[in-house]
Amino acid sequence: MNSLNRRRFFEQTATSAVGACLINSLSVGADEGLLSLVDPLLRAPATLPDAQNGLLTLDAALRLIAEVPEGDFETDDCFSTKRPDAQRDRSVADWLDNNAGILETLENVIKRGKLQFPTGSWDDERLNDLSKYRRLSRYLQLCAQRHLAKGRVREAAELCLKANQIFRLLEGAGGVYVEFLVTYACQGACFSLIRRIATSSATDAKTMRWMLASLPNISEPLAGIRAAIRAEYSCYLLPLLIKVDRSDTAGKVRNILEWSDGLEIFVPREKYESRCDKIVRLLDNHPKPFDLADTVKRSNALYVGFLRDLDRPWSTCKTQPTHKVADGLIAWPKELSMILLDPVDPDQVSELELAGAREKLKCVANALGRKILEAIQLDSKSMQQIALTNQASYDGTRITLAIAIFARENGRLPDSLDALRQAKILDRLPVDPYSSEGFQYSPDLRALWSVGWSGKGAPTQPVVGEEDFDPHIWRLDGLPG
């Protein structure tokens, strides 16, 4: 699978579970006139010196971690009394022991306290690293579960907190959007395990107080996504546009609809060739199908718009119309999509329809540039939603810990969240990032929740287990009271 399509795959799977750099990215073939088109809001921070960048140490160590043992099992099943499997657990335990050296590396990376993704153009090596980060997340989760199974709650908590530190550092390391999404997915698994430890009867209040003290009050939920938008623009989009500009029309089309053999199961090769051929013929005799300067100007305005959308509260952002980049392209046949994995059939476009569309598009300046932006643009609403959900999950985890501490020390759930502040367990109550008001809580329903992206999220009744799962609702079953 090629870079663009593998990126889309990682984005989909992760979402289901979200200055000097710029000049470095554009240094080959980019003149000052092109750089002058870039808004200062999109310029990334200065490059971190290698000696200070813990990501280099982390990546070198992750390349040595072997693949997760094969088998048809869920991570949560391992070392579990609910789904016992001695052979599976032995295989996983051997894998954990054989890769135990990564834990010392993580300590060194955390001590450095700074990570930064590469500031050059996006490449396949960074795609490969994404699967390594997910493997690291699974490694730490399985280590913690093994500790829990042996009654070593403190050790399990230490691993969860270490995982949170690592993925928090990665979140702010200036990765492109798909890297941002993968780190958020990894954080989600970490938060889930922390809440599981908090609601376990084996966890005492002293351990939970230590865990809560290790999770600082963070009030910048959108900092990571802002860095990701800047990186997406400077490290991925602009280098891609420059590469497209250097090709003829056929090369431009194939640079975007890049083929690899792994795509055959999704898109038959003959359909791919037909789509490329018809798009090239669609642009035949166009006075200027691709204009680099105009495309950069349009992309600049688009990505600045993404950043400014983040300044709006969620209640406003979710009702805003989607940014439009393809005005004037109504004549472009939908069967000739510039997104390779779109389920379309180019053979449905007749020669007569193709000729008619070609004539209409001759009047549209930079038709291919506009279509490219349509194919690769981000969705600011989805980005903000993912970032806010992650922040809500983090704050929900902290409040869950605080409620668990209160319950262990008092033998009952608190009557209200304000009781946590009065008991000096929390110095202040986190704010629900979706509503900018307090989180919702009911001791009767034994639940804590955020109103979520709909603004209406709420539990309906006490539920034990994983029924009616909602990422914005945290059950308090297992706690005293």
Report pLDDT digits (tens) over 158-202.
Answer: 999 999 999 988 888 888 888 888 888 888 889 989 998 998 888
Q: Model pTM?
A: 0.82
> What rounded mean pLDDT belongs to the chain?
84
pLDDT at site 440: 95
Q: Are 331 and 364 in contact (CB under 8 A)?
A: yes
Question: Which structure tokens are listed for 20?
Answer: 């000097």
Q: Are 364 and 328 in contact (CB under 8 A)?
A: yes
pLDDT at site 325: 56
Q: Are 37 and 296 in contact (CB under 8 A)?
A: yes
How many Cβ atoms from other residues are within 10 Å of residue 347's Cβ? 12
How many Cβ atoms from other residues are within 10 Å of residue 246's Cβ? 11
User: What's the pLDDT band for 346 if we cut at 50, 70, 90?
Assistant: very high
pLDDT single digits (tens) 420-456: 999 999 999 999 999 989 999 999 999 999 998 888 8
Residue 69: alpha-carbon gap to chain centroid:
25
User: What's the pLDDT band for 273 if we cut at 50, 70, 90?
Assistant: very high
The answer on pLDDT for 416 being more than 90 is: yes
Question: Which structure tokens are listed for 185?
Answer: 């997915």
